Amino acid sequence: MDTDDAVALSYGGFALAYVVGELDAGVAFIDRALLLNPNLANAWNVSGWVRVWLGQPEVAIEHLARATRLSPLDPLTNRTRTTIAHAHFFAGRYDEAASWATMTLREWPDYQTALRIAAASYALAGRLPEARSATERLQKLDPALRISNLEDELGPYHQRITSPGTQKVCERPDCPTDR
């Protein structure tokens, strides 16, 4: 790979992180891309995702905001919004996360990544009717989705994605588990 090609480095870094699970190597490639071309919106965008996976939600939000400023009319802006929702979720700001996910779902109502983070955010924000609605929509789109296979659908997070709040919400009899 050309070590001076910012586009190749950013995509290669994202692939290393997402496909191979090599988060540190991936972020190193992406950081090199940003050094070479600080105006490459997509590099800031993929950096946002990898920072979420690394457990750096505040850095992710900064990088995603920069991507949005560089490319305000990006046709994939809903993916950026969904990533921002994830960052707010992992920063413990569940209402803010739900708000960002809702912005995406207004335009892309079947986008499962946004529906998953919306459902979790609503639930942990105590907005159970909205959480139930998002979960029902997810179940219609993906009837095989369960808590036990949810990690197959998520990114390569640096830490396991569990919290006392998620366990509490999913102890209900109608929670989609493998019971």
Residue 126 DSSP symbol:
T
Residue 159: band (very low, low, confident or very high) from pLDDT cuts 50, 70, 90: low
pLDDT of 155 higher than 80: no
| Per-residue model confidence as pLDDT tens digits over 71-121 | 999 999 999 999 999 999 999 999 999 999 999 999 999 999 999 999 999
- Which of 44, 30, 101, 105 minimizes the C-alpha distance to 74? 44
Residue 165: band (very low, low, confident or very high) from pLDDT cuts 50, 70, 90: very low
What's the pLDDT score for residue 146?
A: 82
Calculate mean pLDDT across residues 35-62: 97
- Which of 70, 136, 60, 156 minimizes the C-alpha distance to 100? 60
Q: Give the Cα separation of 57 and 83 in Å (integer).
A: 10
- Which of 94, 91, 93, 13 minimizes the C-alpha distance to 56? 91
Helices and strands, counts by H and E, the chain: 9, 0
Q: Give the Cα separation of 111 and 155 in Å (integer).
A: 15
Q: Report how far apart the first and last C-alpha atoms of the chain are (Å, whole number).
A: 47
